[in-house]
Chains A and B, each alone.
Chain A
Amino acid sequence: DQQVKQNSPSLSVQEGRISILNCDYTNSMFDYFLWYKKYPAEGPTFLISISSIKDKNEDGRFTVFLNKSAKHLSLHIVPSQPGDSAVYFCAASVPGYGQNFVFGPGTRLSVLP
């Protein structure tokens, strides 16, 4: 049973346009959410996060939106660049005495020049 879902396995976007990556979750107890980017042969790289008490967080070209009632978050990349081509993972933090993340299956973004 997937608690974090990324229903689009892949996405292609033209350079300079907006990329929108979506993520849905089922567990209302998740306390915050992160996006990671992964290039081949490298580990995931932290991109941006958002607390469950906020609905938006922005960092340069990257903005994450959280809709708690819909249990949905999205990552917007504006403008998209060819170097953004990678696999993007949505992850949710499980509250508890430590910290671990539940990851979605990822979306492969291709930014076309």
Chain B
Amino acid sequence: DAGVTQSPTHLIKTRGQQVTLRCSPISGHKSVSWYQQVLGQGPQFIFQYYEKEERGRGNFPDRFSARQFPNYSSELNVNALLLGDSALYLCASSLGLTGGLNYGYTFGSGTRLTVV
């Protein structure tokens, strides 16, 4: 069974550009969450989507947006990139709205974004 897949694995962008990151959840999972992990820190919550609706938003500027498609895959968009947006972007999926006590979320390997 395929796990959570993210693409691309790495990319380099210039300040001011826009980027789109993609995530395919585990088959049957309806919830997708996005996290940003800056070097030396823990992941920080950006968004959760469930059944194509936004169910949670972290403390990120409006330059960050996301959506979920009918097949439950998701895209994270970041506009007007700043150097500080350089990070590992993680996608996590779960079957339902909550991961459950003995299950948690399943994370992908992430997209490493470098802004120069």
Q: Which residues of A contact B (CB under 8 A)?
A: 4, 32, 34, 36, 41-46, 49, 51, 89, 91, 96-106
Contact = CB atoms under 8 A, between A and B. Distances in A.
Contacts of A101: 43, 45, 105
B109 interface: yes
Nearest to A41: B109
12 contacts: A43-B4, A43-B109, A44-B90, A46-B103, A46-B105, A99-B33, A99-B48, A99-B97, A100-B33, A103-B35, A103-B43, A106-B41
B48 A105 contact: no
Q: For this complex, into which size category does the number of interface residues on chain B fall?
A: 20 to 34
Interface stretch (B11-19, B50-58, B62-70, B73-81): B50-58
Contacts, number: 66
A34 B103 CA distance: 10
The B interface, classified by DSSP as helix, strand, loop or mixed, is loop
B8 interface: no
Contact of A106 (B42, B44, B108): B42
A99 B99 contact: yes
B72 interface: no
B20 interface: no
Given A43-B4, A106-B42, 12 more contacts: A34-B104, A36-B104, A41-B109, A46-B106, A49-B102, A97-B56, A97-B97, A98-B56, A99-B56, A100-B56, A100-B58, A102-B45
